[in-house]
Structure 1
Amino acid sequence: MGTHSNILVWTLLFVLGITNPIVHAGAEDSQLLEWSNLPSLPAGVEGAFIGELGGFLVVAGGRTVDLEQDSANEHFRDEILVLEPNAEQWKLAGHLHEALADGAAVTTEHGLLCMGGRDNEGNKAGVYLLTWNSVSEQIDVDQLGDMPKPLAMCSAARLGDQVFLAGCWIKDAEQNETKKQFLSLKVFSFADLEASQWQHIKPWPGQGYFFSALTAQNGKLFLLNGSSTPISSNASQSINSAGGSYCFSSASQSWSRLTDPPIALAASSAIAYGPSTILYIGGIGNDAHLGGESAASESIISSKIFAHETITDSWSYQGKLTSPIAMATAVEWQGRIVVAGGHTTDNLPTSSVAEATVKPWQSAFHFVDYTMLALYLLVLMYIGWHFSEKGSSSSDYMLGGQTVPWWAVGLSIMATQVSSIGFMAIPAKAFATDWVYFTGILTWFIVVPIVVRYYIPFFYRPNVTTAYEYLEHRFNLAVRLYGSLSFILLQLGRMAVVLYLPALALSVVTGMNVYASILIMGILSTAYTVMGGINAVIWTDVLQAGVLMGGALLGMIIAVMGLEDGIEGFLNIAEANNKFRLINWDTNITTTAIWVVLVGNVFQRTSDLTADQTVVQRYLSTKNIQQASRALWANVAASIPWALIVFLFGTALFAFFKTHPEKLNPAMQTDAIVPWFVVEYMPVGISGLVLAALFAAAMSSLDSSIHSVATTISIDFYKRFRSDCSDRDLLRLARRLTGVLGMLGTGAALLAATYEIDSLWDLFLEFAGLAIGGLAGIFMLGIFTKRGNSLGAISGAIVGAVVLYSVKTYTHIHFFLYPALGVGSSFLIGYAVSILYPSENQSLAGLTIHTNDAAHDSPFSKLE
């Protein structure tokens, strides 16, 4: 069935590729936002402190001009205005201690922090905290001290628990000499703020800027352009809008150069949008590209909006405001982008307040794509129905009668471990970073020989169905039940992750409700697993492995073909951006250093291949130990080219979207980059089939989890305590448990959909490392030592869990090391306790590598 289905699938791929070679076209209209007006301010104002406070939009201070006099005659304000949600007008809610404009403001959990600014007398160094007083329904203003230097026309942003401020102070007015300032302040130090609490950080390497734009995105700070000279309210003057944008990493305390915006602007607004995009709105420039017939030496105010993609470091045009604006501030309020006040083309401050909503997006998912998706899901259901008539015993249902071919088992292991996490999150990781994770494939050649030589013989015995039966024979019943329960809890969490990820992606690229997607996948995978048991699980995995591999390979080819210079362009872009970096020589345990990746993968793979019932159950579905060993090597043979393809796919996506940044959806999570590309830029029909593969990847992991958990409960709990149960009762229970567990996993995914998660691959690796490491340590203690006993095993598991929890909570150790810490601490503590508190003599014949052939009276040897 699997072979015939693959032939049909690839025939359809070929036909559709020939008849429709043109990829979906991206939207020609690149207008990202739709703008509308909020209630206008009582008067035109520019350079105000703007932010969100207690649910209110706040505009404090600012500057206006006297219309009856020269427009250069500036008037500074101290009024604090607030706008309630759905209100029709602004209301006065207090006054600053002094009239100020052109400072910087940042919203924090303590209040709106207002820093610096200027008045008619010059720049100021004061720092104020604005808080909402619910009793007086006014804003309280507390002066917190001064900055080290008086700064105006500066910008600020928050990153983590720090507020950063970038600006210049005039060192020598006569010689027009300025000095750059880059400062940081801990958010929790506001209560007793003194100038000494500001930390001086090495500033950006370029020239000093006034009215630059500073914002935080994707864990870093971005400083975008500015003016090398101060700007007055008379914007008709010739300004020196300077190109030069930089990125600051707080982890390394270093700056890196960015690609400059398409137009050199100053006094623009910048705001983070989505997970990895910065919107660059309006501004003043003296660039002829701004339009019009004015000379390039004259200042022009822009209405254009550009988007900077922080991952690809590329810019795209994203439409424009309803009117040109500069010296305004863009903030997020009520889930929307708001631009308040600012300077307009008539050289006057404006009272307008505009809000933006995301323009409705039309999915390129075609009726043909939906048809292909439906047909693929029907094929999966047919496989389940086909094997439903071949599962007449519990052995057939749980182990396939131990007649499954080794190559099918190997592909099944590969498919279930890949899941939707591998199909989406690994290319997304390569897209966002590099190939450092790829070096983990080397550990296959370390781990697999050990598992084949030392582990599989202890699992593969007649009448054994779960891995945890070994633990009872080696230790006692309590250890067996602990192992089974740990596995069950891990799989319940895994079900949620592998269902939620593709549902989220499908929601982004097709508009389908994320909860409906979870329900479809959960119900269908549960249905065919209930019907066909392990045979349905394995053979659907075989089909899915082929489509996953082909879909990723085809996606990579189409992405490379979308580049102007094809393969050469792909290689040049990847090389220039260091995307093929394989080794991080850092020695820091908080990074993806080479030794961290390798050590972490060795222990993670060991845990997966020895303590995970979903894998062990596949070993046991083959005829003998030799077949099981071949299956494991077949898994390696499939996994290595798979890893190569998906990392190339992710890098190809980086090259494609760096070249075509306008084709990205700025609101999209990075983990959705694969389905976005599949739906938007792959041929109609093929995109439906590849997206079906994404569905199937999630379902292949879910079916494995629910079937293995049902088997574990049936064997390690029900049959263990009811040894007289009939095979018919055991089969009936396993089917019912499969259905119930499918519903539980689906429910867990629905719950997970209510939370925002940055990188699901990282999340899953972190969760798996915490959960399975201690369990693998128990298996290691039992197989490799003779002194290990039940007290040591339980003690090691408990203390190991505490160690892992403490490491995760109180350190910044990279999650790759969690499995090593879990396995190591569990094994070492278990061995130490076993030595300190030795148990009574217990027959270990056939239960350790030291005694495997020493006697013939072990529980396993009697079965031979």
Structure 2
Amino acid sequence: MENVDQIIAKLQRFSWPDYSVFIAMFVVCIMIGIYFGFIKRSHSEADYLMGGRNMLVFPIALSLVASFISGITLLGLPTEVYSYGIQYLYVALGVLSMGVVMGVFYLPVFYNLNITSTYEYLESRFDRRLRMYGSVMFAIMNIAYLPIVIYVPALAFNQVTGVAVHTITPIVCLICIFYTSLGGIRAVVWTDVVQTFSMVGALVLVAIKGSHDVGGAGVVLQNAWDSGRIERPILDINPTVRHTLWTQLVGGIFYWTQTNAVSQNMIQRYLALPTLRSARMALILFCCGVLIMMALCGYNGLLIYATYKNCDPLTTKLAKARDQLLPLFVMDTLGDYPGLTGLFIAGVFSAALSSLSTCLNSMSAVVLEDFVKPFVKQPLSESAMNWIMKSVVVGMGVMCVCLVYIVEHMGTVLQLTMSLEAVTNGPLFGIFTMGIFMPWINGNSALTGGIVGVITMSWISLNAQWAIASGAIKYQTKPITVGQCDYLFDRTGLQQSSMNSTYTTADEIFPLYRVSYMWFTFLGTLATVLTSLIYSSIAGAQDAKKVDTALLAPCIRKYVRNENEDYFKTNHIFSSDIPTKMKVRDDEVAL
């Protein structure tokens, strides 16, 4: 009987057709970069960062989907469903609700201001301090997130080919830097289109072949039902339960709205469209695309269980890490068909490339608009701006490659990064929400709230992640077994998991540390807003007449429009500071 190492060696059969498919995807990306860099090149900052604000809805929608679905999601979601069931997938309710909230309240404000960086809004609504606060938070998150975006799929590639992580990551980053710096947002969007089809094709291919091998989709669903992986939403209102209907709906609305509505990575694409109507159409298509991708990933998770239900590869260490479960399944299922494994790995790297290129392009916009332009006395020439934007892309890409070495040697870095995301997301979302809905909140109140929000979420999320990493908080999986394995493995410390959709904690763990991670963005927002309201009530509120109605949500404008109309006509607010950016688009005044 073979042992685990022999099985792994046998599964690592990445043939030349696989390499051909894998390389072809990169060649297409390079050609797109060359096309938009030399043939249909950008002639201005607006072209490079915003595509001339005249891009097409469908490619933008696909780019949004590709940007959001990273390699971490593509590999992590199937493992989540395999281990814990479909409770996470009820976040679809939060996604649909986010689409309504963003389309009605947030998108009209940002779109009609004709801005490039979302953090320009914070200066217009509050002051420059808030703009710098938002930009710094965004930069910190990207610097921490980018190395992981590349490292996770590189680890999967290493498992199926044996090629070292530090061999493939510089190559991938170099290609991404090339087409992103050369072609700007047009190259990013159109490579995202290609990469989206690659991702979907890979997931569909795995689903079809895997289902056929186990006897059809009916067998997959029946096994999932029998094991409790398919279940109704948990209605428990206890906030410490990992996934419930309320964490996925309410917590999901806050998390997804922050990520999609006020993050530069996403909003920049909506602002590249010619009308508000087209931006809303892209939002609808984005929601549909994300739900399809989540459904495919979720089904593949159930399919992995149907395949390995009698011999859990995570327990036997056939998959040495959780993110390697799907690549293992692909090699086991598609390894005998030349080229198909290469298509899947190309899909995983497509997800990584799309997220990386999006972050690089957005960082170039934020650095230029928020860190350079406000501090130069003379307007920059087009060549200077072009040099700055491309330098940012190259510099961030090189930094990403270097930080992968740190990621590799820090076992808890993935958890720490999720904590860092929670630290910044909630407070930022709280500040933007106050700006849009609360005209009486001033810059001092918002900044105080933002600082308290960051401190609060740092305390909660970092301690929570430490409790999980130390084993004080343990999440129990759905039933798994190794009773019918046909290979040898190390049984030392082997424990059977019991069926339990909740988790057990040590009594001494502080209750806030046990709160579901799905509530973290909500908690950060709540801490920020409450602190700002308290500060405002003590130090004094801002006169609502001093806030331009263009900076408020459409539903709020009607309550302050009459008071503000004459004031702004008389005082010409913003007319000297931001003459172009603050002009509401004439064709979108009627909301």
The two structures have a TM-score, normalised by structure 2, of 0.82
- Quote the residue 1:90 is aligned against: none
- Quote the residue 2:225 is aligned against: 575
Contact 2:115 2:582 survives alignment (8 Å): no
Deviations 1:42-97 (A, max 9, x none): xxxxxxxxxxxxxxxxxxxxxxxxxxxxxxxxxxxxxxxxxxxxxxxxxxxxxxxx
Deviation at 1:471, TM superposition (A): 0.5
Rounded Cα–Cα distance in structure 1 between residues aligned with 2:211 and 2:420:
34
Could you tell me which amino acid in structure 2 is paired with residue 719 of structure 1?
A: K
Contact 2:319 2:328 survives alignment (8 Å): no
Contact 1:515 1:753 survives alignment (8 Å): no
Partner residue of 1:848 out of 528, 531, 552:
552
Rounded Cα–Cα distance in structure 2 between residues aligned with 1:763 and 1:594:
26
Could you tell me which amino acid in structure 2 is paired with residue 474 of structure 1?
A: R
Contact 1:556 1:653 survives alignment (8 Å): no
Deviation at 1:840, TM superposition (A): 6.1
- Quote the residue 1:752 is aligned against: 407
Q: Kindly indicate whether residue 339 of structure 2 is the aligned counterpart of residue 696 of structure 1.
A: no
Contact 1:787 1:835 survives alignment (8 Å): no
Q: Secondary structure at the match of 2:70?
A: helix
Q: Kindly indicate whether residue 155 of structure 2 is the aligned counterpart of residue 504 of structure 1.
A: yes
Rounded Cα–Cα distance in structure 1 between residues aligned with 2:271 and 2:425:
20
For residues 388-403 of structure 1, the aligned pairs below 5 Å read 388-389=37-38, 390-403=41-54
- Quote the residue 1:833 is aligned against: 535
For residues 518-667 of structure 1, the aligned pairs below 5 Å read 518-563=169-214, 565-591=215-241, 592-658=243-309, 666-667=318-319
Rounded Cα–Cα distance in structure 1 between residues aligned with 2:552 and 2:536:
15
Q: Secondary structure at the match of 2:55?
A: coil
Deviation at 1:381, TM superposition (A): 1.0
- Quote the residue 2:118 is aligned against: 467
- 1:656–1:803: structure 2 CA closer, same or farther, 3 Å change rule? same
Q: Secondary structure at the match of 1:521?
A: helix
Contact 1:490 1:771 survives alignment (8 Å): yes
For residues 184-333 of structure 1, the aligned pairs below 5 Å read none
Rounded Cα–Cα distance in structure 2 between residues aligned with 1:445 and 1:568:
28
Q: Secondary structure at the match of 2:551?
A: coil
Q: RMSD over aligned Cα, in angstroms?
A: 2.2
Deviation at 1:449, TM superposition (A): 1.7
- Quote the residue 2:82 is aligned against: 431
Q: Kindly indicate whether residue 447 of structure 2 is the aligned counterpart of residue 788 of structure 1.
A: no
Rounded Cα–Cα distance in structure 2 between residues aligned with 1:388 and 1:491:
25
- Quote the residue 1:373 is aligned against: 22
For residues 332-347 of structure 1, the aligned pairs below 5 Å read none
Q: Kindly indicate whether residue 144 of structure 2 is the aligned counterpart of residue 493 of structure 1.
A: yes
Contact 2:445 2:536 survives alignment (8 Å): yes
Rounded Cα–Cα distance in structure 2 between residues aligned with 1:450 and 1:629:
11
Q: Kindly indicate whether residue 416 of structure 2 is the aligned counterpart of residue 767 of structure 1.
A: no
- 1:556–1:729: structure 2 CA closer, same or farther, 3 Å change rule? same
Rounded Cα–Cα distance in structure 2 between residues aligned with 1:661 and 1:797:
45
Could you tell me which amino acid in structure 2 is paired with residue 607 of structure 1?
A: Q
- 1:713–1:662: structure 2 CA closer, same or farther, 3 Å change rule? closer
Contact 1:397 1:532 survives alignment (8 Å): yes
- Quote the residue 1:807 is aligned against: 460
Q: Name whichever structure is richer in strand by fraction.
A: 1
- Quote the residue 1:707 is aligned against: 361
Rounded Cα–Cα distance in structure 2 between residues aligned with 1:802 and 1:409:
36
Rounded Cα–Cα distance in structure 1 between residues aligned with 2:117 and 2:246:
33
Could you tell me which amino acid in structure 1 is paired with residue 189 of structure 2?
A: I
- 1:454–1:797: structure 2 CA closer, same or farther, 3 Å change rule? same
Deviation at 1:659, TM superposition (A): 5.3
- Quote the residue 1:730 is aligned against: 385
Partner residue of 1:687 out of 336, 341, 352:
341
Rounded Cα–Cα distance in structure 2 between residues aligned with 1:423 and 1:447:
21
Could you tell me which amino acid in structure 1 is paired with residue 426 of structure 2?
A: G
Rounded Cα–Cα distance in structure 1 between residues aligned with 2:208 and 2:62:
23
Rounded Cα–Cα distance in structure 2 between residues aligned with 1:751 and 1:444:
33
Structure 2, unaligned stretches of length 5 or more?
Answer: 464-509, 575-580, 586-591
- 1:588–1:378: structure 2 CA closer, same or farther, 3 Å change rule? same
Contact 2:93 2:248 survives alignment (8 Å): no
- 1:692–1:747: structure 2 CA closer, same or farther, 3 Å change rule? same
Q: Secondary structure at the match of 1:465?
A: coil
Contact 2:18 2:340 survives alignment (8 Å): yes
Rounded Cα–Cα distance in structure 2 between residues aligned with 1:827 and 1:768:
18
Deviations 1:218-250 (A, max 9, x none): xxxxxxxxxxxxxxxxxxxxxxxxxxxxxxxxx
Contact 1:502 1:698 survives alignment (8 Å): yes
Deviations 1:695-746 (A, max 9, x none): 1111110111111011101011111222511222112110111110111122
Deviation at 1:372, TM superposition (A): 1.0
Could you tell me which amino acid in structure 2 is paired with residue 451 of structure 1?
A: M
Deviation at 1:769, TM superposition (A): 2.1
Could you tell me which amino acid in structure 2 is paired with residue 670 of structure 1?
A: R
Partner residue of 1:383 out of 23, 29, 32:
32
Could you tell me which amino acid in structure 2 is paired with residue 365 of structure 1?
A: F
Deviations 1:792-811 (A, max 9, x none): 11111111112112222252
Could you tell me which amino acid in structure 1 is paired with residue 284 of structure 2?
A: W
- 1:763–1:435: structure 2 CA closer, same or farther, 3 Å change rule? farther
Structure 1, unaligned stretches of length 5 or more?
Answer: 1-28, 35-317, 319-358
Deviation at 1:436, TM superposition (A): 0.5
Partner residue of 1:669 out of 321, 324, 334:
321
Rounded Cα–Cα distance in structure 2 between residues aligned with 1:466 and 1:744:
22
Q: Which of 1 and 2 has higher RCO (CA within 8 Å, sep 6+)?
A: 2
Q: Secondary structure at the match of 1:364?
A: coil
Could you tell me which amino acid in structure 1 is paired with residue 525 of structure 2?
A: V
Rounded Cα–Cα distance in structure 2 between residues aligned with 1:590 and 1:558:
38
Contact 1:472 1:480 survives alignment (8 Å): yes
Rounded Cα–Cα distance in structure 2 between residues aligned with 1:570 and 1:444:
26
Contact 1:368 1:688 survives alignment (8 Å): yes
- 1:667–1:792: structure 2 CA closer, same or farther, 3 Å change rule? same
Rounded Cα–Cα distance in structure 2 between residues aligned with 1:712 and 1:453:
25
Q: Secondary structure at the match of 1:585?
A: coil
Deviation at 1:394, TM superposition (A): 1.0
Contact 1:844 1:851 survives alignment (8 Å): no
Deviations 1:621-643 (A, max 9, x none): 11121111111111012111211
Rounded Cα–Cα distance in structure 2 between residues aligned with 1:687 and 1:862:
51
Q: Name whichever structure is richer in helix by fraction.
A: 2
For residues 1-16 of structure 1, the aligned pairs below 5 Å read none
Rounded Cα–Cα distance in structure 1 between residues aligned with 2:113 and 2:380:
19
- 1:763–1:578: structure 2 CA closer, same or farther, 3 Å change rule? farther
Partner residue of 1:515 out of 152, 162, 166:
166
Could you tell me which amino acid in structure 2 is paired with residue 847 of structure 1?
A: L
Rounded Cα–Cα distance in structure 1 between residues aligned with 2:393 and 2:189:
15
Rounded Cα–Cα distance in structure 1 between residues aligned with 2:321 and 2:178:
31
Contact 1:394 1:730 survives alignment (8 Å): yes
Contact 1:460 1:620 survives alignment (8 Å): yes
Rounded Cα–Cα distance in structure 1 between residues aligned with 2:208 and 2:542:
64
Deviation at 1:567, TM superposition (A): 2.9
Contact 1:788 1:830 survives alignment (8 Å): yes
Rounded Cα–Cα distance in structure 2 between residues aligned with 1:397 and 1:411:
19
Deviations 1:442-469 (A, max 9, x none): 1122222221122122211465211011
- Quote the residue 1:120 is aligned against: none
